[in-house]
Amino acid sequence: MPTNIMELPFIKGLDLCEQFFEVAVRPLLDHHFPNLRYAAGRLGGGSDVLGFDTPQSRDHDWGPRGTLFLAEADFDELTPAIDQLLREKLPTTFRGYPTHYGRHPDGSLNLEFIDAGPVNHMIKITTAERFAQAYLALDISQPLQPANWLCLPSQHLATMRNGRLFHDSLGEMTQLRQTLHFYPHDVWLYLLAGQWTRIAQEDVFVSRTGDVGDDLGSRMIAGRQVQNVMRLAFLLEKKYAPYSKWFGTAFAQLDCAADLAPIFDRVWQAASWQPREAALNEAYLYLARWHNKLQLTDPLPAEVGFFHERPYRVIHTDQYADVLYEQIQDPQVRALPRGLGNLDQLSDSTDILSAAWRFPKFAPLFDSENL
pLDDT digits (tens, 9 = 90+) for 235-249: 999 999 999 999 999
End-to-end Cα distance, the chain: 63
Instruction: Return the number of other C-beta atoms located less than 10 Å from residue 269's C-beta.
Output: 10
Domain ranges of the chain: 5-179, 185-329
Instruction: Tell me 240's DSSP state.
Output: -
CA nearest 284: which of 254, 252, 320, 246?
A: 320
pLDDT tens, position by position, 251-263: 999 999 999 999 9
What is this structure's pTM?
Answer: 0.93
% of the chain surpassing 70 pLDDT: 98
- What's the rounded Cα separation, in Å, for the pair 297 and 324? 7
Q: Per-residue pLDDT for 308 more than 80?
A: no
In this prediction, residues 256-280 reach a mean pLDDT of 96
In this prediction, residues 289-304 reach a mean pLDDT of 91
Task: Give the orientation angle of helix 154-162 with respect to helix 172-179, to 10 degrees.
Answer: 130
pLDDT tens, position by position, 91-123: 999 999 999 999 877 777 889 999 887 999 999
Question: Which pLDDT belongs to residue 315?
Answer: 85
In this prediction, residues 279-297 reach a mean pLDDT of 95
DSSP H helix total and E strand total for the chain: 18, 10
Q: Per-residue pLDDT for 368 more than 70?
A: no
pLDDT tens, position by position, 205-245: 999 999 999 999 999 999 999 999 999 999 999 999 999 99
pLDDT tens, position by position, 124-179: 999 999 999 999 999 999 999 999 999 999 999 999 999 999 999 999 999 999 99
In this prediction, residues 19-40 reach a mean pLDDT of 97
Question: Which pLDDT belongs to residue 106?
Answer: 77
Question: Which pLDDT belongs to residue 370?
Answer: 54
The DSSP H or E segment spanning 157 is: helix 154-162
In this prediction, residues 324-352 reach a mean pLDDT of 93
Q: Per-residue pLDDT for 61 more than 90?
A: no
% of the chain surpassing 90 pLDDT: 85
Q: Per-residue pLDDT for 336 more than 90?
A: yes
Measured in degrees and rounded to the nearest 5, phi and psi for residue 97 equal -95, 140
Question: Which pLDDT belongs to residue 367?
Answer: 78
